[in-house]
Each structure stands twice: as structure tokens, then as C-alpha cells.
Amino acid sequence: MTTTPRSGAPADQATVADGAVPMTHPQIMRALSGLLLGLFAAILSSTVVTNALPRIIGDLGGGQSAYTWVVTSSLLAVTASTPLWGKLADQFSKKILVQSALIVYALGSLVAGLAQNPGTLIAARVIQGLGGGGLSALSQVVLAAMIAPRERGRYSGYLGATFAVATVGGPLLGGVITDTSWLGWRWCLFVGIPFAMVALVVLQRTLNLPVTKRRVKVDWAGAFFVTAAVCTLLIWVTFADDKYAWLSWQTYTLVGTSLVLALVFLFVETKASEPIIPLRLFRSRTIALASTASLFTGVALFAGTVFFSQYFQLARGESPTRSGVMTIPFIAGLFLASTVSGRVITRTGRWKGWLLAGGVLLTAGLALLGMLRYDTSYPFIALCMALMGLGVGMTLQNLVLCTQNQVAPSDLGAASSTVTFFRSLGGAVGVSVLGSVLTTRIAHYARETITQLAPQDQAAAAKTSGDGQLPDLALLPAPVRTWLEGAYGHAIGDIFMYVAPVALLSFLVTLFIKEVALRTRSGLAQTAQEAKSARTDARDTTA
């Protein structure tokens, strides 16, 4: 693979871009400015609707299944597209790819804001997820290209901080927009578009990476079969125990189809000249274990956080704005852990201890949240969320970091996106499964406690729990409201309890990841050195 500097770049800038000398901190921050802004927009699109979703689904006439699919559809698109974006980054201009992802994201946001029914909203979220998958994968790839693993912890901390700010700012902003009568929830879906447009302009001026001269070979067959396998699996877990029993002919058919599609995908990848997930990467113990840990961490992260808004609004009756404020302890823990761990890793070069500590804290936070009820003390909830945030902040970036440290520069994109793929896959499957389980648990606790209501309230209660739509608590009589809040609170507590063992599995997997010293050269520097060595060898051969 050969590279050339950007046309018209000054000699010193071209030298830096080629990786011959390390980029300075100001140069790196200028190059990352637009990327971080784009990443902020992508994360904002997910978090800004978090506290608005109960209101959105209620206004569009959807139920718990629609609520789950609005979240799952975006995660599915991220999951399916991430490997493709990462592989393209190894073959094509990273700058153009990032800008393309921003445009796709903005189009999806526009369609989502104009949606008139749950189906249109879900389809628009798929488009958003395609763009968001590109931004998530490419941010890691660009970072790895410019910065040596030993120095990358510091800048991974900036990614984590961006994630934290967008995550805490999104629910707060979404809550305020939803509660403001002259705006309304549709502006939650429009709000990311200006950030994406500004990021496009900034990226054009600041991100000057060498252009990769390499024939682009897109593994469309691999992309199709992995998407089909994941979609079939998600359809099964979404409708199981609702449209059909867990053990039924529909289950056997869908699971069998998903397994066949997965096997076909693996076969296609062994034959593809440029597979989107190179199977040879899994010969590395670190990559195989990090991918497995990311799968379990994705379940814990997404399945844990997605249900916070439902808990605060449907189990405690809080407004969207207050619901966002109440999640600040989680985001504060994430912000602190990602920033501090990144700086310490840069200084010491040691990263495994942070992975292990993160796994312990994440598991502990989820296990304690398993005791949630509708009247649980908020300080206790805040402590549990802070533990979760600390665990996530210590885990996510470092799983990618240890993977990038083990691969050649030509595989940075594929390796980074593979770890992200498994994290998104875990999140998509986890949210879908637990969304189905949540519906069942709510119905169970509602039936179990309905006899505690007065006879005149039982009819209203039965109608509320049987119409399949998310309730508007403000319209319910006080006894019925308390009864329903109790069912939601207990059921969501069960969800966190079910997720805690999955987080424990992630911790156990990380125990077996061997700590390898972080390299001191960036991906561009390694590529430049390889090109120089190749030219030297060619001259020696000619001589």
C-alpha cells in the first residue's frame, strides 16, 4: 500500500501526514476537532431521544415492541455497517468516508423528525444507524492512524469525554425540548443536523490524512449475510413470548435460519479477497478475547442504559427533563473514568488493570440496580449508576486500544471495527431480548398485584395494562398509577439483575487477555517505515 500527501500541502505538513515524524498535540487536536464534533452529533442522535421516547411512542400510537425496535433498529444498522466502514477505511480515503457517514446520518435525522408512525421512525433510525456506525468505527480508525498506542490513551480519553458529554447533554436537551410546548419532540430528532453540517465543514479544513492508493473491493456478499443473520435473530427475540412461544416452530425456524446465514457468512469470508471481518484476525488471542468481551459489555451497556429513561418516567413519574438530570451520576462516572484512565495509560503504558477494574465496577453497579423498585431511594440509585459509568469508562476504549496494538497498520480499520461490531451486536441482541423480557415481567407483576386495588379501580387497571401502549401516568387515577409504577419498577429491576451476570462474563474473559506493551509508533508512522523499507529493498535488488 502506498500513500501520498494531500495535494497542495506544505512540505512540513506532508511530512507529518506521512507519519515520518510524530504529530504535535496541537496538530492532532486540530485534526480531531471535526471528527469529535461528528462523533458528538452521532451520539447525540441516540441520547437526545432517550427521555423523549416514551412521549414519542405514545404520540405515534406504538407500544413496548415499538419502543424496543426504535432503539434496536439503530443498533442493528450500526452493527451491520461497522465492519464495512472499517474495511473501507483500510482501502479508501478516511476523510471522505467520515463526511459520507455524516451526510447519511443527517438524512436519517431529517426523515426521523418527519415520521408520522412508528414504522417510518424505525426505518429512519436504520438510516441514522448506518451513519452513526461509520462515525463510531472511523473515529477509532483515524485515531489509530495518527497516534501511537502508547500515546493513544490520552486521546481515547477525549473520545470518551465526547461520548460522556453527548450522553449527558442529549437526555437533558431532549427532555427540555420535549417539555417545551413550542418545540416538541420532533426537534429532538432534528437537533443533530446542524452539528453534522458544521462537522462537515470543519473536517474539510482540518482532517488532512494521506490518501490511500488502493483498489476498493467491497465485500457486499459478506455485508448482506451478516446483516441477514443478525436481523433474523433479532426478529426472533423481539416477538418470542409475544407472538409465539420461546419453544415453538417459529423459534426453531428463525434460529435455524439465522445459524445457516451465519455459516454462509463465515464461508463467504473465507473466499473473499477483502472480507469485511478478516477471520485471520481471530488467530490473535487478544483480538478473539477482546471481541468476546466487547459482545458481553455491549449487552451490559446498552441494555442497562436504555431502560433508565423508562424507569424514571414510568416507574417514578418524572418528566423527560428530570429524567435526564437523574442520569448524571452515570455520565459523570463515565467521563471521569475515560479521561483519567486514558491519561494514566499514556503515562504508564499499562492498561489491563483498568479493564479488570472496569469489569468489577460494571458488574457491581448492575447487580445493585437489580434491587430497584419504584420507591427506591435516589441516592442509592445514583451510587449504582456512578459505579456503572466508571466501569464503562474504564472498559470500552481500552478493549479497542489493546486490539489496535496487536495488528498491522493495514488492518487497523478492520480490527477496530470488529471489536465495535461485537459491542453493537451485543447491544442490539441484548436490548431486543430484554425488551421482550421486560414486557413479560411487567405483565406478570401487574397481574400479581392487581387484586390489591379496589374493585372500581381494577377495570381501569386491566384496560391500561392490556392495550399494548405505553401509559400516560398523568391520566391515571392515583391508585392505578401507583400500581403500574410498582409493576414497571420491579420489572426493570429484574432486567438489571439479568444483565449483571453478562457483565461478569465480560470481566472473566478479560482476565485471559495478555497485557502487551503499547507500541510507540502510530499507524501512519509504521506505514511510512514499511514503505521506506520496501523502497530500500527494491534499490538493493536492482543494484
pTM above 0.75, yes or no: no
- Residue 213 has φ and ψ, to the nearest 5°, of -95, 95
User: Does position 259 have pLDDT exceeding 90, yes or no?
Assistant: yes
pLDDT at residue 540 in the model? 53
| Residue 496 one-letter amino acid | F
| Residue 269 one-letter amino acid | E
Give 533 or 39, the one with higher predicted confidence.
39
Q: Which of the four pLDDT bands, split at 50, 70 and 90, describes residue 371?
A: very high
Q: Which of the four pLDDT bands, split at 50, 70 and 90, describes residue 157?
A: low
Whether 457 maps to a domain, the answer reads yes
User: Does position 150 have pLDDT exceeding 70, yes or no?
Assistant: no
Least confident among 17-31, 35-49, 279-293, 297-311: 17-31
How far apart CA 65 and CA 206 sit, in angstroms, is 43
**Burial class of 236 by CB neighbour count within 10 A (0 to 12, 13 to 18, 19+):** buried
Count of alpha carbons within 13 angstroms of residue 222, beta-carbon side: 23
pLDDT at residue 468 in the model? 53
pLDDT tens string 107-128 = 998 998 888 888 888 888 889 8
A 10 A CB-CB count for 113 gives: 18
Domain boundary among 236, 271, 306: 271
User: Does position 393 have pLDDT exceeding 60, yes or no?
Assistant: yes
Count of alpha carbons within 13 angstroms of residue 8, beta-carbon side: 2
Whether 40 maps to a domain, the answer reads yes
Do both 326 and 449 map to the same domain?
Answer: yes
Whether 131 maps to a domain, the answer reads yes
Closest CA to 495 of 424, 433, 427: 433
Count of alpha carbons within 13 angstroms of residue 442, beta-carbon side: 28
| Residue 423 one-letter amino acid | R
User: Does position 12 have pLDDT exceeding 50, yes or no?
Assistant: no
Do both 259 and 339 map to the same domain?
Answer: no
User: Does position 390 have pLDDT exceeding 80, yes or no?
Assistant: yes
pLDDT tens string 72-105 = 777 778 777 777 787 777 777 788 888 888 899 8
Do both 190 and 79 map to the same domain?
Answer: yes
How far apart CA 401 and CA 149 sit, in angstroms, is 7
Least confident among 15-29, 68-82, 272-286: 15-29
Give 384 or 299, the one with higher predicted confidence.
384
Do both 238 and 276 map to the same domain?
Answer: no
Do both 85 and 203 map to the same domain?
Answer: yes
Rounded average pLDDT over 445-459: 77
Q: Which of the four pLDDT bands, split at 50, 70 and 90, describes residue 167?
A: low
Closest CA to 498 of 237, 210, 300: 300
Give 155 or 466, the one with higher predicted confidence.
155
Rounded average pLDDT over 290-317: 83
Do both 286 and 245 map to the same domain?
Answer: no
Give 19 or 254, the one with higher predicted confidence.
254
Rounded average pLDDT over 290-310: 82
How far apart CA 504 and CA 440 sit, in angstroms, is 25
Q: Which of the four pLDDT bands, split at 50, 70 and 90, describes residue 149?
A: low
The residues facing 240 across adjacent strands are 244
Whether 4 maps to a domain, the answer reads no
Do both 232 and 361 map to the same domain?
Answer: no
Give 435 or 156, the one with higher predicted confidence.
435
How far apart CA 355 and CA 511 sit, in angstroms, is 9
DSSP letter at 514? P
Do both 323 and 452 map to the same domain?
Answer: yes
pLDDT at residue 5 in the model? 41
Give 253 or 409, the one with higher predicted confidence.
253
Do both 401 and 419 map to the same domain?
Answer: yes
How far apart CA 8 and CA 269 sit, in angstroms, is 39
Residue pair 290/513 in contact (Cβ under 8 Å)? The answer is yes
Give 2 or 112, the one with higher predicted confidence.
112
Least confident among 174-188, 192-206, 253-267: 174-188
Q: Which of the four pLDDT bands, split at 50, 70 and 90, describes residue 485?
A: confident
User: Does position 363 have pLDDT exceeding 80, yes or no?
Assistant: yes
**Per the structure block, which three cell numbers stand in for 235?**
426478529
Least confident among 10-24, 245-259, 288-302, 383-397: 10-24
* Terminal alpha carbon distance of the chain: 23
Whether 10 maps to a domain, the answer reads no
Contacts of 456 (CB under 8 A, 6+ apart): none
Contacts of 14 (CB under 8 A, 6+ apart): 5, 6
**Per the structure block, which three cell numbers stand in for 156?**
481515547
Q: What domain count does the chain have?
A: 2
**Per the structure block, which three cell numbers stand in for 401?**
486500544
How far apart CA 24 and CA 72 sit, in angstroms, is 40
Residue pair 318/371 in contact (Cβ under 8 Å)? The answer is no
Domain boundary among 271, 290, 311: 271
Least confident among 368-377, 391-400, 446-455: 446-455
Give 302 or 390, the one with higher predicted confidence.
390
pLDDT tens string 184-227 = 788 888 888 888 888 888 888 877 766 555 565 677 888 788 88
- Residue 63 has φ and ψ, to the nearest 5°, of -120, -160
**Burial class of 165 by CB neighbour count within 10 A (0 to 12, 13 to 18, 19+):** middle
**Per the structure block, which three cell numbers stand in for 92?**
479508501
How far apart CA 413 and CA 82 sit, in angstroms, is 10
DSSP 3-state assignment of 481?
A: helix
Do both 290 and 158 map to the same domain?
Answer: yes
Contacts of 11 (CB under 8 A, 6+ apart): none
Residue pair 73/86 in contact (Cβ under 8 Å)? The answer is no
How far apart CA 543 and CA 539 sit, in angstroms, is 6
Q: Which of the four pLDDT bands, split at 50, 70 and 90, describes residue 15?
A: very low
Q: What is the mean pLDDT of the chain?
A: 78
Contacts of 514 (CB under 8 A, 6+ apart): 285, 286
DSSP letter at 7? T
What is the domain extent for residue 239? 220-271
Q: Which of the four pLDDT bands, split at 50, 70 and 90, describes residue 256?
A: very high
Whether 542 maps to a domain, the answer reads no
Listed ranges 71-85, 289-303, 418-432, 461-475; the one with the highest mean pLDDT: 289-303
Do both 267 and 293 map to the same domain?
Answer: no
pLDDT at residue 501 in the model? 94
Whether 527 maps to a domain, the answer reads no
How far apart CA 360 and CA 474 sit, in angstroms, is 39
pLDDT at residue 350 in the model? 83
User: Does position 358 have pLDDT exceeding 70, yes or no?
Assistant: yes
Contacts of 361 (CB under 8 A, 6+ apart): 387, 388, 390, 391, 394
Residue pair 149/517 in contact (Cβ under 8 Å)? The answer is no
Q: Which of the four pLDDT bands, split at 50, 70 and 90, describes residue 521?
A: low
What CATH number corresponds to the domain at position 462? Answer: 1.20.1250.20
How far apart CA 356 and CA 130 sit, in angstroms, is 32
Whether 431 maps to a domain, the answer reads yes
User: Does position 379 have pLDDT exceeding 90, yes or no?
Assistant: yes
Q: Where are the beta strands (DSSP E) in 121-222?
A: 211-213
pLDDT at residue 541 in the model? 58
Closest CA to 321 of 331, 312, 329, 330: 312
Rounded average pLDDT over 403-423: 77
Within 8-148, residue ranges assigned H as helices are 11-17, 25-47, 53-60, 64-89, 94-113, 118-146
Do both 373 and 388 map to the same domain?
Answer: yes
